Amino acid sequence: MALITWSDKYSVQIKEIDDQHKVLVGMINDLHDAMKQAKSKEASLEIINKMAEYTKYHFSTEEKYMKRYAYPDYSEHKLEHEKFIENVLKFKEDYEKGKAGISYDILNFLKNWLVGHIQSTDRKYAPLFIENGLN
- What does the domain layout of the chain look like in residue ranges? 58-135
Note the pLDDT of residue 125: 98
C-beta neighbour count of 106 within 10 angstroms: 21
Pick the CATH number of 58-135 from 2.70.98.70, 1.20.120.50, 3.40.50.510, 2.30.300.10: 1.20.120.50
Mean pLDDT confidence for 86-94:
90
Question: In which band, very low, low, confident or very high, does the pLDDT at 101 lie, cut at 50, 70 and 90?
Answer: confident
DSSP calls for 19-61: HHHHHHHHHHHHHHHHHHTT--HHHHHHHHHHHHHHHHHHHHH
Burial of 98 (0-12, 13-18, 19+ CB in 10 A): exposed
Give which of 39, 40, 32, 50 is closest to 110, Cα–Cα.
Answer: 32
Note the pLDDT of residue 40: 85
Mean pLDDT confidence for 98-126:
92
**Which residue would you say has higher pLDDT here, 36 or 19?**
19
Mean pLDDT confidence for 45-53:
92
Helix, strand, coil shares, percent, the chain, to 5 = 75, 0, 25
Question: In which band, very low, low, confident or very high, does the pLDDT at 113 lie, cut at 50, 70 and 90?
Answer: very high
